[in-house]
Amino acid sequence: MVTLVTGGAGFIGSHLVDLYLEDTDEDVVVLDDLSTGQRRNLPESDRVEFVDGDVTDSELVEEQVRRADSVYHLAAAVGVEKIVDNPLDSLQTNLIGTESVLEAAAEHDVPTFIASSSEVYGKSTAVPFAESDDRVLGPTTSPRWSYASAKAVDEAYGLAYHDAEDLPVVVGRYFNIVGPRQSGQYGMVIPTFVEQALAGEPLTVYGDGTQTRSFTHVEEAVRATYELLQEPEAHGEVFNVGAPQPTSINALAERVIELTGSDSEIEHIPYEVAYDEDFEEPQQREPDVSQLEETLGWHPKTELDRILEDVIAERREKTAIPEAAE
C-alpha cells in the first residue's frame, strides 16, 4: 500500500507522514516543491520517497497518483502575508494544483482528502461556524479574500468529483493548526510570538488584539485527517477540523510572555501599516465540531498551554536558549 501526501514536507504534511510511519505499514510518497516546506521535516526512512515537484504539473501529479492507494492533498500557498504579497501565486497553486490532483484521482479511483481552511467562512460573525453556514467575504479588490475564494473552489471541485465520478473525497477545514515545525515566516501568529518572546523583542499584535482564534494541535489535526479518509461515511462531506476553544490575540500574547518568562512587551500595529488600507481581518474563528464528533467519536481538544509549551520547547532547542530561571 502506498499513500501520496502532496505538500508532505510542510508543517502539517510532515506530521501526517510521521503518523503513517508510526501507525501503519504503508509506504509514503511525498510530492513537494519545497517552496514553504523543508526536506529536513521528513524522517530518514526507506518507507518515505521524496519527489521534488509542483502540484500544478499535471503529468507529474498523474504519475504519482497512479501509484497511490490514497491521496492527501495538503499542498497549498498558505499564510496571510504570502497571500497578500503574491495573490496570483496563491490562486494558481491552490486552484490548478487541486484540479490536477482530483483529475488524476478520478482517473485512477484513488480516495482523496482535500485540505481546506476556516478562511472560507470569511468575516462571518455567526460563531461557532458550522459546515453548512453561509460564507461572508469581502470585495474581490482585496487580496485578503483570494485565498478564501480559492479554497472554496477547491472544496467545490472535490464535492463535484464525488457526485459526478463517485470519487471518495473528504474535505477538512483546518482551524489554525499549530505545533512543532511551523514557521512564522508567513504571518503564523504562535511561532512568531514565541520567537519574538525568546529573543526579547516586542510581540507584534496586529489591530487591537481583541480578535479571537481557535488553535488546534497538529497531532490532533493529522489524526482527524487520517481517520476521516478511512471512514466511508465521511466521503462526500466537509468537516471542521479544530479545537473549539477561542482566545483573543491579546490573551495569546500575554500567555506566550508568561510561559517563556520573557520581558517582552506587546506592541499593537494597525492593519493598514502591516498590510495596506484595504486589508480586512475576520474578528472571530471558532468551529462547530459536532459533525466531526458524530463521525469520528472525538474532536481536537488539546489545551492552548500544551500547544504553546510544545512550540516553545522546540524553539528553545533550535536556538539553544535556556529556560528562564524560577
How far apart are the C-alpha atoms of 189 and 186, rounded to whole Å?
9
Which is the catalytic residue, given 20, 147, 157, 226? Answer: 147
Do the beta carbons of residue 42 and residue 83 sit within 8 Å?
no
Positions of E strands within the chain: 2-6, 27-32, 48-52, 70-73, 112-117, 169-174, 177-178, 203-206, 212-214, 216-217, 237-241, 246-248, 266-269
* Helix, coil or strand: residue 170: strand
Q: Which residues contact 205 (CB under 8 A, 6 or more apart)?
A: 249, 250, 253, 266, 267, 268, 269
Question: Which residues sit opposite 49 in a β-bridge?
Answer: 29
What is the residue-wise DSSP string for 173-216? EE--EE-TT--STT--HHHHHHHHHHTTPPEEEETTS--EEE-E
Which strands sit side by side in the sheet containing 70-73, from one edge to the other? 48-52, 27-32, 2-6, 70-73, 112-117, 169-174, 237-241
Q: Which residues contact 220 (CB under 8 A, 6 or more apart)?
A: 243, 300, 301, 302
**Nearest of 12, 40, 43, 76 to residue 222 by alpha carbon:** 12
Do the beta carbons of residue 224 and residue 175 sit within 8 Å?
no
Distances (CA, A) of 96 to 51, 58, 153, 213: 19, 9, 11, 29
The set of cell numbers assigned to 40 is: 529536513
User: Is-catalytic flag, 147?
Assistant: yes
The set of cell numbers assigned to 205 is: 499584535
Q: Which residues belong to the active site?
A: 147
